[in-house]
Amino acid sequence: MFDIKENLKKLPDSPGVYLHKDKMNNIIYVGKAVSLKKRVSQYFQNSRSKDSKVRAMVEHIDEFEYIKCGSEMEALILENNLIKKYKPKYNILLRDDKTYPYIKITNEKWPRIEKTRRVVKDGSSYFGPYTDVGAVNSIVDLISKVYKLKKCTSRNFPPGFRPCLNYHINQCNGMCVNRENKADYMKRIEQTKTFLKGNSMDLVGFLREEMNRASCEMQYEKAAIYRDYIISAKALMEKQRVVLSQDKDLDVILANGKGEVVVFTVIDGKLSGREIFEIRDRDEDEQNVISAFIKQHYGEKSKGPGEILVKNRIAEQNLIEEFLSQIWAGKVKITVPARGEKKALMEMIKNDMLEMVKTRQARDENRDNRRSNIRKQLSDLIEKSKIDNNRRGYDIDYVQDVVDEETGEIVELFKGEDDAFRVECYDISNTNGVDNVGAMVVFDELAKNRKAYRKFKIKSITGADDYGSIAEVLKRRMERGLSGDVGFLPLPNLILIDGGKGHVEIAAKVVGAYDLNISIVGLAKDDSHRTQRLVYKDRTGEFVEEPLKDRTLLFSYMGNIQEEVHRFAIEFHRSLRDKKVVKSQLDEIPGIGEKKRNNLLMFFGNMDEIKDASIDRLQGVRGISKRDAQNIRDYFDKR
């Protein structure tokens, strides 16, 4: 048994890290100390000055261990690593230490532009972070197209190297086949960096020249494309506000009083991004929160800003400055601005943050109201349409306890009363009875649960038989769930069928046969294919047709679900149909087996591109010889 008093006597009077453990040997707290002896002993001294959190932690300490370090700095680094590794219960932790994307210009002979979430010391140039992921994708796509930058990851281009699709569609000049001038390419890379630093003049000027040239040559469609590029480039740059007169990089860190820390990023004097991090312990002192946040957030980054602005001086400020300066190999300052434009910047950001909090609160309230509203309406609908098996006289195969097929434990069939209702919607898709498929989409009340979506190839039905297909799909779905397949659990509270009375009747018979009191509702459309009314059987077994009022929450909700299941079913059906068409056509061509067929599809993307490809382009596909290319061309020319 661990004797705390005896082990306190053995603690060294030197820097180090200590780990408190509970009775289950779980690490519940990691701390650092200049003197391990003094710091750890303080936890076990009777004192009313300890806050409630510390007192609660001490009650759970069953033993401790320590690691000696050569200096306080070494202890800080080790403490930070151990907190990230063990995530102790009583340490201040980031609930979601997600990273926002950067734009990277690679350090290669022919540099590429790409999105990344990791910043490493590899000689590449990094710009960001950006909180708008869509904007990052737009920037990368825009610059790649405008400047025709290399997209492939190949570094070496030996003799005979075949260019990829980007070269053939004129989105790359072909450095792999010596058709790109290196000096011109590097000039475009420098222009890209200038744009990413906030100066759009070079890019916009280049685009305007190309637009005017295309217009003079009466290539008006091409000119319109460049016009749209100019609009996009300006829009992307307008998202950045100039906040400092000098081109400085710094971060501003503030706690918003809602259990979150907000980081505003300034690059070259422009406010360019915002990140929000949730803190697990909302009651912790703000100075300690910001201090712990900086260590965790920046501790694993290989580069960062030269200055960090905070509202008030933080715990261990000098030590953290030294810590960041060491890992980033450059001077880092943590500053509390007292005057001038940095003070004004801090005030502006505080006001921005207050507005952000208000906006998010309003959005959250609106979402909660919508959720509450739809929950009540779904609850009413579920009660009205629930199957009464005894009244309807189905042949019932009573459900026994369901056992998880993986763990062997009994599982709950349905969600708890306080959980979101599970709503499943089904649709059938085919072409004149061929490639018949079923689709199931799942909503946890308002939210799509895409992981629970399921596809079914209809096996027992031939021809266009919607009723038989729905019956097969529902039977397979219920049996998978009742067999303990967790991929089909929990069972739904409400089943929606894309159809009317006949569909509801069939579904009710299938579900009722398992003694499951699940509500079943049909979604009937009008002549414009809009969800017009709900069709269900009430508890007396009589059909009810309930009109859906336009522009109501329930109308939008049901319409969205019906559109989603229709989309999901159509996409699955088309994928099966297209695979069959592609396979049958290419398999008829002499010399084209499965491997070459797959290479053709990967290279061209679809059959239309293959049909229109020249012999030279076909030879650009891996494994396709001149004879193969000629056979492919001959096959499609004759059709």
| 318-344: average pLDDT | 89
Confidence category of residue 395, pLDDT binned at 50, 70, 90: very low
Contact 631, 589 (CB under 8 A): yes
Contact 75, 255 (CB under 8 A): no
Instruction: Identify the sign of the CA torsion 204, 209, 210, 212.
Output: positive
pLDDT tens digits for range 67-102:
988 888 888 888 888 888 888 988 877 655 455 678
Instruction: Identify the sign of the CA torsion 318, 320, 323, 325.
Output: negative
Tell me how long the chain is.
639
> H-helix or E-strand containing 534?
strand 531-537
Of 113, 92, 95, nearest in space to 104 by CA: 113
CB atoms within 10 A of CB 235: 11
How far CA 188 is from CA of 115, 185, 203, 208, 383, in Å, comes to 18, 5, 9, 15, 65
pLDDT tens digits for range 436-468:
899 999 998 888 999 999 999 988 887 778 899
| 166-173: average pLDDT | 78
Q: Would you call 553 exposed, middle or buried from its count of C-beta atoms within 10 A (0-12, 13-18, 19+)? A: middle
Highest mean pLDDT among 256-260, 302-306, 480-484, 548-552: 480-484
Contact 512, 545 (CB under 8 A): no
Alpha-carbon span 610 to 489, nearest angstrom:
43
Residue scoring higher pLDDT (463 or 633): 633
pLDDT tens digits for range 216-258:
888 888 888 888 888 877 766 655 555 566 778 899 998 887 7
- Fold of the 589-637 domain: DNA polymerase; domain 1 (1.10.150)
What local confidence, expressed as pLDDT, does residue 105 receive?
A: 92
What local confidence, expressed as pLDDT, does residue 559 receive?
A: 86
- Fold of the 250-356 domain: Nucleotidyltransferase; domain 5 (3.30.420)
Residue scoring higher pLDDT (554 or 36): 36
Confidence category of residue 396, pLDDT binned at 50, 70, 90: very low
Q: Report the share of the chain in percent with pLDDT over 70.
A: 87
- Fold of the 422-574 domain: Nucleotidyltransferase; domain 5 (3.30.420)
What local confidence, expressed as pLDDT, does residue 2 receive?
A: 83
**Domain ranges in the chain with CATH number 1.10.150.20:** 589-637
Alpha-carbon span 216 to 222, nearest angstrom:
11
**Domain ranges in the chain with CATH number 3.30.420.340:** 422-574
pLDDT tens digits for range 582-608:
556 777 888 888 888 888 877 876 777
* pLDDT of 487 strictly over 80: yes
Confidence category of residue 406, pLDDT binned at 50, 70, 90: low
- Fold of the 4-91 domain: GIY-YIG endonuclease (3.40.1440)
Alpha-carbon span 44 to 58, nearest angstrom:
7
Of the given ranges (139-148, 191-200, 392-401, 537-546), which has the lowest mean pLDDT? 392-401
Q: Which residue has the tokens 């959720």?
A: 371
* pLDDT of 28 strictly over 80: yes
311: left (phi over 0), alpha (psi -120 to 50) or beta: alpha
DSSP per-residue letters across 253-321 = EEE-SSSEEEEEEEETTEEEEEEEEEBS-TTS-HHHHHHHHHHHHHTT-S---SEEEESS--TTHHHHH
How far CA 190 is from CA of 123, 147, 165, in Å, comes to 15, 11, 25
What local confidence, expressed as pLDDT, does residue 417 receive?
A: 64
> What is residue 8's three-state secondary structure?
helix
What local confidence, expressed as pLDDT, does residue 95 receive?
A: 59
pTM above 0.85, yes or no: no
> H-helix or E-strand containing 27?
strand 27-33
Residue scoring higher pLDDT (582 or 132): 132
**Domain ranges in the chain with CATH number 3.40.1440.10:** 4-91
Contact 102, 115 (CB under 8 A): yes
How far CA 304 is from CA of 158, 194, 341, 457, in Å, comes to 39, 20, 21, 52
pLDDT tens digits for range 33-63:
999 999 999 998 876 656 777 888 998 999 9
How far CA 46 is from CA of 6, 20, 382, in Å, comes to 17, 18, 58
